[in-house]
Chains A and B, each alone.
Chain A
Amino acid sequence: MTMVQVENLVKRYKEVLALDHFNLDIKEGEIFGLLGPNGSGKTTAINCMLQLLTYDKGTIKLFGQDMEPTRYDLKKRIGIVPQNIAVFEELTVAENIDYFCALYVKDNKKRARLVKEAIEFVGLEEYVKFRPRKLSGGLIRRLNIACGIVHKPELIFLDEPTVAVDPQSRNAILEGIRSLNRNGSTVVYTSHYMEEVEEICTRIMIMDHGQVLACGTNNELKAMIGTGEKIQVEVIDLPDKALESIKALNCTQKASYDGKTLEVFCTSGAQNLSTVLQTLQQEGLTFGRVYSEPPTLNDVFLELTGTELRD
């Protein structure tokens, strides 16, 4: 079943084109990652899908049905964890979760059970009577998540849920998202942290300037670019002649030297590392530490856009 279907969505903020014929298709059971730098249009896309923003063109379907601001029946099936913390500062953790649950669930008994489960799910049992201002950044993020998922929605939008949290909380949040997915929720996850997206998403869309640059699984995206391996070698005083020799190798796509580290982007192949190191030895150079790694999503982004994934 297609949970989210967006076609040719166009959204302008006066002169700025925030979404440029944006298309999206998310299937049931996916953890779908929207990856892009800040200002790339991720949050705008989500707010359009949630019918908070007007848009100039395009169609949005959720659960196979046209989404409208008054489709409360569809909204009941959606969970939202916004990028900005959206809780009542004056209410306790338990009261906040209960309030947001009541936006979806009217039955008091059922709500009490769901609130209890949500508190346990995000690990806030010890903080139920705390007010948000007493919580650390990580705990507030967990509260924000609890408020969004308490009613056990089928489709959850998580907009940068790990911004400004400590590594421990981040790991807990990521594990929680996996758990939600295992329990049957489809997750739309936006982030500009590519490691997170790589780690948890079953499918990833890379976007920038409101446009979709690429979409696929982690491996599919990496296969889209020519780089099969990235090799880094610590070398002292690499002569230009040696750099040219490296660049001349058949496996080399591009190579650069910053005065300390030689970086070589190679095509796929089993002998790339030994070929590069042999060439350095033939040039009479000694080298220090050597790193070899497959390309990252950042490399994919770099190759697709010509720029680094900026914050």
Chain B
Amino acid sequence: MWNTFKYTVKALVQESSVLLWGLGFPLIMATLFQIAFSNIDGSYDFEPIPIAVVENENYTNNEVFTQSIEALASSGEGQLFKLHIAKNESEAQQLLADATIMGFYAINDKGNPELSLTPSKMLDLASIEQTILKSYLDNFVRTQTTLEAIAQKDPSVFVKPSFLESLSAPINYTNEVSITANKTSGVVRYFYALLGFATIMAANIGVIAMARTQANLSPLGARRAAGATKRITTLVATLLASWFLAFVFLTVTFCYMRYVLDVGFAREIACVGGLAVCSLMTTALGACVGSIPKIGDMAKGGILSGLACLFGLFAGLFGTPSQKLADDLTRTAPLLQMLNPAKQVTDLFYSLYYYDGYVHYLQTTFVLLAGALVLFAVTVVFVRRQRYASL
């Protein structure tokens, strides 16, 4: 058993197609994903908005606005602005034209603040930031107008400490609450789907390993079948070797994503446990496809590639339309999606990342294990024969 395991691993790890599809391809794809999606998550993080103020006499005279702006530009958790000081309006315009800032405030001769924004052709790129700039100004003007109205009507309220406190306290109409265990990321789903795709591609290991054990599939298989080692021993050792290699390949891919590309994964130990289950599923898939009689290795490789693309499509690997398709199918035909191992692998990591407990993780793990069991059962049907009608 040990010798068969050892030499099967040794032989498979030197087989170029196993290395290419099992390890090389997922690593290359992950790298390309990283390059393609490097800016997507940036849109989910808030960065202080670069603005300028025109520091003239009007500005220094409007102490309320000056203090407000400087408070919001002071570094810390609540920093809203990254402040540039322009000596005059033309300098501020130049900063705007250079795209150094997204807008600037200037106090007009009447003492009211005015906002100048990025030229309209760039609006689409910076709409959120400019909306914030405009909202801030609207809010400031509204508050200032209210205070002036109160001062004219009932100035006595200004002496009440509670009123002053309410003025200095920030007004929050909404409270941000995260409903997921980790920060929302638009990218992780692609990488999880890629792990699902890599899992299917790793089935190549099982296909090749299986062909080498079956007398009707290769001369080497025939030679081994005629040997004095029990057939079940050879099969179990070969499947263990395939599982081990698939597990190593998937773990390397996972580590590359997690620690080199810095893709968000949660509860890494559970992730590795999940990879062990994924490896078992892919070994079963490979063994099943590999043991189909009367089909050549090339055709079997083609079948696997086709399955990987199909499953990857419904796991959301190929962009937003693919993800929408996957989501629609999950809503309308959840049982069908349970048959998609790539989707299950995606869900497995998704559940660890977004859910607090282990219920979804264990459910997905169970589905993958059940799938592996069914595939192994089909494999047994194919390989149960001891002798063949032809070789």
Q: Do A and B come from one complex?
A: yes
Which of A95-103, A164-172, A265-273 interfaces with chain B?
A95-103
Q: Interface segment, A77-85, A244-252, A281-289, A303-311?
A: A77-85
Given A90-B11, A90-B15, A91-B10, is A70 in contact with B228 using a C-beta cutoff of 8 Å? Answer: no
Query: Is B119 in contact with chain A by the CB < 8 A criterion?
Result: no
A51 touches B220 (CB 8 A): no
Q: Which of B296-347 contact A (CB under 8 A)?
A: none
Question: Cα distance A256–B220 when bound, in Å?
Answer: 48
CA distance A199 to B230 in the complex (A): 37
Contacting residues of chain B (168-220) with chain A, CB-CB under 8 angstroms: 212, 215, 218-220
Could you tell me the distance between the alpha carbons of A104 and B223 in the complex, rounded to whole angstroms?
Answer: 13
Q: Does A61 contact B (CB under 8 A)?
A: no
| A86/B222 contact (C-beta < 8 A), A99-B3, A102-B3, A104-B227 known | yes
Return the contact of A95 from the options B10, B212, B389 (Cβ within 8 A): B10
CB-based contact A50/B391 at 8 Å = no
CB distance from B375 to the nearest CB of A (A): 25
Q: Is the CB of A13 within 8 A of B223?
A: no
Q: How far is the CB of A29 from chain B (nearest CB, A)?
A: 22
Interface contact B386-A91, CB-CB below 8 Å: no
Is residue B146 contacting chain A, with contact meaning CB distance below 8 A?
Answer: no
Establish whether residues A72 and B387, one from each chain, have CB atoms under 8 Å apart when the complex forms: no
**A13-B390, A54-B389, A91-B10 known; A86+B219 contact, CB < 8 A:** yes
Contact A103 B14 (CB under 8 A): no
| Residue from A13, A102, A104 within 8 A of B389 (CB atoms) | A13
Taking the closest CB of chain B, its distance from the CB of A197, in whole angstroms, is 23
Indicate if A52 sits at the interface (CB-CB under 8 A): yes
Point out the residues of chain A lying under 8 angstroms from B220, CB to CB: 86-88
Residue of B nearest to A50 (CB): B226
Contact partner of A52 (CB less than 8 A), chosen from B3, B10, B212, B226, is B226
Q: How far is the CA of A91 from the CA of B7 in the complex (A)?
A: 8
CA distance A104 to B390 in the complex (A): 25
Q: For the complex, give the distance between the alpha carbons of A89 and B4 in Å.
A: 15
- Would you give the shortest CB distance from A279 to chain B, in whole angstroms? 55
What distance in Å separates the Cβ of A157 from its nearest Cβ neighbour in chain B? 9
Number of interface residues of B (CB under 8 A): 29
B92 within 8 A of partner (CB): no
Nearest neighbor of A83 in chain B, beta-carbon distance: B219
The answer to whether A52 touches B228 (Cβ under 8 A) is no
* A75-B222 in contact (CB<8A): no
- With A13-B390, A69-B386, A102-B3 as given contacts, are A52 and B222 in contact (CB-CB < 8 Å)? yes
Find chain B residues with CB under 8 A from A213 CB. Answer: none
Closest to A151 in B: B228
Give A255 to B385 CA distance when docked, in angstroms: 55
Q: Is the CB of A88 within 8 A of B7?
A: yes
Query: A101 to B131, alpha carbons, bound, how many Å?
Result: 77
Interface centre among A72, A90, A98 (most CB of B within 10 A): A90
CB neighbours (8 Å) of A51 from chain B are: 226, 386-387
What are the interface flags for B370-391 relative to A under an 8 Å C-beta threshold, 1 for contact and 0 otherwise? 0000000000000000111111
Chain B's closest residue to A92 (CB) is B10
A84 contact set on B, CB distance < 8 A:
219
Contact present for B7 and A52 (CB under 8 Å): no
Query: Does A82 contact B223, Cβ atoms closer than 8 Å?
Result: yes
Question: Which residue of chain B has the shortest Cβ distance to A104 in the bound complex?
Answer: B228
Whether B386 and A85, one on each chain, are in contact in the complex, defined by CB atoms closer than 8 angstroms, is no
Closest CB-CB distance, B293 to chain A, in whole Å?
14
Q: Is the CB of A75 within 8 A of B390?
A: no
Among A47, A88, A95, A147, which residue has its beta carbon within 8 angstroms of that of B391?
Answer: A47
0 or 1 for each of A48-68: is its CB under 8 Å from B? (1 = yes): 001111100000000000000
Distance of A76 Cα from B219 Cα, bound (Å) = 19
B219 pairs with A95, CB closer than 8 A = no
Q: In the complex, which residues of chain A have a beta carbon less than 8 angstroms from the beta carbon of B3?
A: 98-99, 102
| Residues A103 and B10 in contact, CB atoms below 8 Å apart | no
For A12, give the chain B residue with the smallest CB separation: B389
Give the CA-CA distance A78 to B229 in the complex, in Å: 12
**B225 beta carbon closer than 8 Å to chain A:** yes
17 sampled A-B residue pairs with Cβ under 8 A: A13-B390, A52-B225, A52-B387, A53-B387, A75-B227, A80-B227, A85-B219, A86-B218, A86-B219, A88-B11, A90-B13, A95-B7, A98-B3, A99-B7, A102-B229, A103-B227, A103-B229
Known: A86-B223, A103-B224, A103-B228. 4 other contacts (CB 8 A): A51-B387, A52-B225, A80-B227, A90-B11
Interface residues of A (CB under 8 A from B): 13, 47, 50-54, 69-70, 72, 75-76, 78, 80, 82, 84-91, 95, 98-100, 102-104, 147
Across the A-B interface, give the 10 residue pairs with the lowest CB-CB distance, nearest first: A86-B223, A103-B227, A69-B386, A84-B219, A90-B14, A102-B3, A75-B228, A76-B228, A90-B11, A86-B219
